[in-house]
């Protein structure tokens, strides 16, 4: 039989392979739907410079159907883009070069698609960009052609700017709700300025955050780093600027490339800097592309396109969510992998409970999103296991937690489900250095605590002996027992425990 050749739309592809995007079963589908909508809401709030207030409503309907509603106080969605934002795969506002929670322009639309094929319900979107003039929509996806189908569009005001999205899906809310609560709790660690209200079956279940009112820095759109330019990107840049000199194209298109650096690069590539874009041959473009990868004169990428959590906010959120007595913060970067800037930051904390494990409990985050699945294949888990934690007083001591966050313009996820980070050597090296530094801080704290404990124990023994000496001395002298507390307090001078009763 002769083979039949055909093509399918992106919506058709993900309809057939929905497990790749985190919608492989009824439990994971509820979690993924909540996650995608919450991430969009947080980005919208931060873009508008507002402290996020997110309401998540989950209702268990009949026949294993679940209604998922997420409301925010963000910017709202421009009305001309609403239908495509929810009804067209790979459409969105997250394709520029700056840190964003979303990556593919896929998540919310995938949830809409999953709801449509499992419940036949349209997504309901209510959005408002100003103080009035809100719109309410009902949308479906034409899967075969990857275009939206607008069932209704009506004018309806909200209480203020923001967006409310309701998606009906087939799912298992009972099994998913604990994981959703954990996701929201972890979200407030890396987004400590957000407040989240969770309602399950119309009952307020949890209110999480806001641990600080300090807004994070807003990442700015940056030019690509020259090492991020592959042959295809270079061809496009030259085609767009074909009347300009090669030197001007490099300076104007990339960050960290000035006139002097461009001249050195072109000498490295054996190209005439006065040549204009249209005159470059295919072989010369290929040579320039190779030179961009091998040239070692570029500075590190600009970090203004990133927005890490930051020392004060990270420490505050960990102390607010976990009962810990010791916290240490560290940061590495900005560094780059294949020209993509990144920062790795982390907190190592210990609590009062005793744990016999050889390794700490690891919590992973990427662009302020908690990663709760597929930990065994994650780069941070592999780094954690490379460290001999027994050297740092972990085994048989207090419970230890490690929180690691990767900020980057491009997260190298292992799959479209965005649950684990691939093993990238540059990220692995920075994470290893970071965790070793935090481990040394933990070991130092544990040793100091041990010394302090032994000193306090000795002081208590001395105090007990001193009281007995005073008692027996007074008995021999047939006099009253002299006051000893003031003298005993001197034994504890400099001690954190202070005076002994």
- The residues, any chain, with a CB within 8 Å of residue 106's CB and separated by 6 or more, are 14, 21, 89, 90, 416
Question: What is the average pLDDT across 123-145?
Answer: 93
CATH number of domain containing 15: 3.30.565.10
| pLDDT exceeds cutoff 70 at 487 | no
Tell me whether residue 497 is in a domain.
no
Per-residue pLDDT of 405-419, as tens digits, reads 999 999 999 887 788
Say if CB 360 and CB 401 are below 8 A apart: yes
Domain check: are 459 and 441 in the same one? no
Helices marked H in 17-169: 26-47, 82-87, 107-119
Statement to judge: residues 455 and 409 lie in one domain: no
Same domain flag for 201 and 69: yes
Q: Which two tokens stand for residue 498?
A: 């202070």
Q: Which pLDDT does position 330 carry in this prediction?
A: 96
Residue 215 forms part of a structural domain: no
Q: What's the pLDDT tens digit per position in 20-72?
A: 777 888 999 999 999 999 999 999 998 888 999 999 999 998 878 999 999 99
**pLDDT one-digit tens code per residue, 318-346:** 999 998 888 999 999 899 898 889 999 99
* pLDDT of residue 488 exceeding 80: no
Looking at the structure, do residues 458 and 370 belong to the same domain, yes or no?
no
* Residue 80 DSSP label: G
Tokens representing 86 are 């929810």
Supply the mean pLDDT for the chain.
86
> Which CATH number characterizes residue 269's domain?
1.10.8.50
How does pLDDT run across 345-361, given as a tens digit for each residue?
999 998 776 665 677 89
**Is 1 part of any domain?**
no
Question: Tens digits of per-residue pLDDT, 167-226?
Answer: 999 999 999 999 999 999 999 999 999 999 999 999 999 999 999 999 988 888 888 888
Query: What is the Cα–Cα distance from 350 to 83, expressed in whole angstroms?
Result: 48
More confident residue, 489 or 57: 57
The pLDDT tens digits for 239-290 are 888 889 989 989 999 988 899 999 999 988 888 888 888 888 889 888 888 8
Number of domains into which the chain is organized: 4
C-alpha closest to that of 369 among 34, 28, 19, 20? 34
**pLDDT greater at residue 292 or residue 182:** 182
Over residues 387-393, mean pLDDT: 80
Do 431 and 471 share a domain, yes or no?
no
- Residue 343 domain flag: yes
Pairwise CA distance, residues 68 & 110, whole Å: 14
- 446-460: average pLDDT: 55
> How far is residue 280 from each of residues 229, 267, 268, measured CA to CA in Å?
17, 15, 16
pLDDT classification of 501: cutoffs 50, 70, 90: very low
Which is nearest to 20 in space by CA: 110, 99, 101, 96?
110
Q: Which range of residues forms the domain containing residue 364?
A: 303-447
pLDDT at 500: 42
214 in any annotated domain: no
Residue 252 is assigned to a structural domain of this protein: yes
Res 402 pLDDT > 80: yes
> DSSP letter string over 8-34?
--HHHHHHHTGGGGT-SSHHHHHHHHH
pLDDT at residue number 5: 74
More confident residue, 198 or 396: 198
Residue 477 domain flag: yes
Are 270 and 311 contained in the same domain?
no
- Cα 478 to Cα 45, 222, 429, 466, 481, distances in angstroms: 79, 87, 73, 18, 9
pLDDT at 481: 73
Share of the chain above pLDDT 90, in %: 47
In the chain, % of residues over pLDDT 70? 86
Query: Picking from 146-155, 299-308, 416-425, 457-466, which range would have the lowest pLDDT averaged per residue?
Result: 457-466
Query: Rounded CA gap, 74 and 50, in Å?
Result: 7
């Amino acid at each position: 039989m002769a083979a039949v050749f055909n093509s399918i739309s992106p919506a058709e592809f993900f309809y057939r392979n929905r497990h790749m995007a985190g919608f492989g079963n009824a439990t994971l589908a509820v979690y993924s739907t909540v996650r995608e909508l919450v991430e969009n809401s947080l980005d919208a709030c931060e873009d508008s410079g507002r402290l996020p207030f997110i309401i998540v409503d989950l209702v268990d309907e009949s026949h294993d159907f679940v209604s998922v509603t997420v409301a925010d106080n963000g910017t709202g969605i421009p009305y001309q883009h609403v239908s495509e934002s929810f009804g067209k795969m790979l459409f969105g506002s997250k394709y520029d070069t700056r840190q964003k929670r979303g990556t593919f322009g896929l998540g919310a639309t995938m949830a809409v698609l999953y709801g449509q094929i499992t419940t036949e319900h349209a997504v309901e979107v209510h959005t408002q960009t100003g103080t009035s003039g809100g719109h309410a929509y009902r949308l479906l996806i034409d899967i075969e052609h990857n275009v939206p189908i607008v069932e209704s569009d009506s004018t309806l005001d909200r209480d203020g700017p923001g967006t409310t999205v309701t998606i009906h899906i087939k799912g298992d809310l009972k099994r998913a709700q604990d994981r959703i609560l954990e996701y929201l709790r972890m979200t407030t660690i890396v987004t400590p300025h957000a407040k989240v209200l969770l309602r399950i079956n119309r009952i307020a279940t949890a209110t999480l955050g806001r641990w600080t009112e300090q807004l994070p820095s807003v990442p700015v759109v940056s030019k690509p780093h020259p090492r991020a330019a592959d042959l295809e990107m270079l061809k496009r840049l030259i085609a767009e600027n074909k009347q300009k000199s090669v030197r001007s194209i490099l300076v104007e298109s990339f960050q960290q490339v000035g006139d002097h650096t461009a001249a050195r690069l072109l000498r490295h590539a054996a190209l005439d800097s006065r040549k204009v874009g249209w005159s470059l041959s295919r072989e010369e473009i290929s040579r320039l592309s190779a030179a961009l990868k091998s040239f070692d004169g570029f500075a590190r990428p600009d970090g203004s396109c990133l927005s890490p959590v930051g020392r004060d906010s990270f420490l505050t959120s960990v102390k607010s969510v976990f009962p810990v007595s010791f916290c240490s913060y560290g940061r590495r970067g900005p560094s780059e992998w294949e020209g993509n800037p990144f920062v790795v930051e982390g907190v190592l904390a210990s609590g009062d409970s005793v744990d016999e494990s050889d390794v700490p409990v690891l919590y992973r985050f990427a662009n302020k999103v908690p990663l709760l699945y597929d930990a065994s294949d994650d780069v941070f888990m592999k780094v954690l296991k490379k460290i001999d934690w027994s050297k740092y007083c972990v085994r048989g001591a207090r419970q230890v937690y490690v929180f690691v966050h990767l900020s980057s313009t491009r997260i190298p996820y292992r799959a479209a489900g965005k649950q684990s980070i691939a093993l990238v050597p540059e990220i692995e090296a920075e994470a290893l250095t970071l965790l070793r530094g935090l481990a040394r801080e933990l070991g130092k704290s544990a040793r100091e605590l041990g010394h302090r404990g032994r000193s306090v124990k000795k002081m208590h023994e001395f105090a007990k002996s001193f009281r007995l000496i005073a008692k027996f001395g007074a008995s021999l002298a047939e006099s009253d027992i002299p006051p000893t507390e003031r003298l005993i307090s001197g034994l504890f001078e400099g001690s954190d425990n202070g005076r002994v009763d």
